[in-house]
Amino acid sequence: MPHILTCPICEEALLKNDNKLACSNNHCFDFAKEGYVNLLPSQHKKTKEPGDNKTMIHCRKDFLKKGFYDFLSPELIRIIRQLPDSDAHKVFLDSGCGEGYFTDQIKTQLNNDYIYYGMDISKEAVRLAAKRNKHIHWLVASSNNPPIANNSLDIVLKINAPLNYDNVRKKMTDNAVVISVTPGENHLSKLREHMYLKPQAHKQEETPTDFKLLQQSNIEKQIKIQTREDINNLFMMTPYYWNASTKVRQIIAELDMLETTAAFNINVYQTTNSI
Ligand SMILES: [Zn+2]
């Protein structure tokens, strides 16, 4: 593993030593048998199992593998290929990668010599991700303050995940980019209708400080979900399920078909040289 990871306790560089990473102050982090490393010290955890719960993670894994959202990766790949000086970009981080579905698709389809990292605060998600692709460096860590050396990331991707732009900016090289994917206005509009939720415009993200907006695109697709299992996996991978009443849960559980829009906004921000 290249030396861009830092100790989450003392922030010294981590070096690989047998099957673990260690800093000069002897803080050690073992690689799990699946190949990921857990850089989330227990004192940094707000709950026992931070991040998405296991049910959400497994529902998302089962839903995504059916390919309903596969139209997203080609657009992300197109954007990455068209970045100014795309060959100069070498270190890629998927922040909040979940179980690594898109990280894996992007690495496989770009098939270049970038160094790929996937990071999520959920150990269960990263465990599944590590089983999916052994050629990506997977870490359990908080995106709030990634254990990564300053000035090392060239491309940061975040798909429907939070990001602390101020902290991540320090870890990025000059002219690096953040590719931010958020739900589009019509995302899952039909599902929301079944829940009696008024279609609401998802709030557009504002350009973060010390970044400039390089480009913006919206993509959407009609998806037809034809089994109860897939519909429920979709429902349970969203926050909607966890806030829904028993009655709404029952209505969705009994749907045999759901035809809805899947929509994503993609904003690309470039670091400015002001800091
Ligand atoms: Zn340390």
Task: Write out pLDDT tens, residues 34-62.
Answer: 999 999 987 777 777 788 889 999 999 99
10 Å CB burial of residue 224 (0-12, 13-18, 19+) is exposed
Domain contains 125:
yes
Q: Which residues contact 164 (CB under 8 A, 6 or more apart)?
A: 143, 144, 145
Number of domains in the chain: 1
- Of 47 and 223, the structure prediction assigns the larger pLDDT to 223
pLDDT at site 56: 93
Domain contains 5:
no
Q: What distance in angstroms lies between residue 23's CA and the mean position of ligand 1's atoms? A: 5
Residue 169 parent element (H or E): helix 165-171
Q: What distance in angstroms lies between residue 99's CA and the mean position of ligand 1's atoms? A: 27
Domain contains 55:
yes
Q: What distance in angstroms lies between residue 252's CA and the mean position of ligand 1's atoms? A: 48
The whole model's pTM is what? 0.94
Task: Write out pLDDT tens, residues 9-39.
Answer: 999 999 998 889 999 999 999 999 999 999 9
Domain contains 6:
no
pLDDT at site 1: 52
pLDDT category of residue 253 using cuts at 50, 70 and 90: very high
Q: How far apart are CA 11 and CA 8, in angstroms?
A: 6
Q: What distance in angstroms lies between residue 39's CA and the mean position of ligand 1's atoms? A: 11
pLDDT at site 202: 65
Q: What distance in angstroms lies between residue 21's CA and the mean position of ligand 1's atoms? A: 10
Poorest-pLDDT segment among 4-8, 124-128, 241-245: 241-245
Domain contains 2:
no
Q: What distance in angstroms lies between residue 139's CA and the mean position of ligand 1's atoms? A: 16
Domain span at residue 202 reads 15-271
> How many CB atoms sit inside 10 A of residue 221's CB?
14
Task: Write out pLDDT tens, residues 179-217.
Answer: 999 999 899 999 988 887 666 666 778 899 999 999 999
The 3-state DSSP class for residue 1 equals coil
The CA dihedral of 23, 25, 27, 29, to the nearest 10 degrees, is: 10
Task: Write out pLDDT tens, residues 141-178.
Answer: 999 989 999 999 999 999 999 999 999 999 999 889 99
Q: What distance in angstroms lies between residue 195's CA and the mean position of ligand 1's atoms? A: 48
The 3-state DSSP class for residue 13 equals strand
Q: What distance in angstroms lies between residue 22's CA and the mean position of ligand 1's atoms? A: 7
Query: What is the arithmetic mean of pLDDT over 225-235?
Result: 96
**Cβ atoms of 216 and 265 closer than 8 Å:** yes
Residue 110 parent element (H or E): helix 101-110
pLDDT(275) > 50: no
Q: How far apart are CA 49 and CA 46, in angstroms?
A: 8
Domain contains 1:
no
Domain contains 7:
no
Domain contains 44:
yes
Q: What is the CATH number of the domain that holds 242?
A: 3.40.50.150
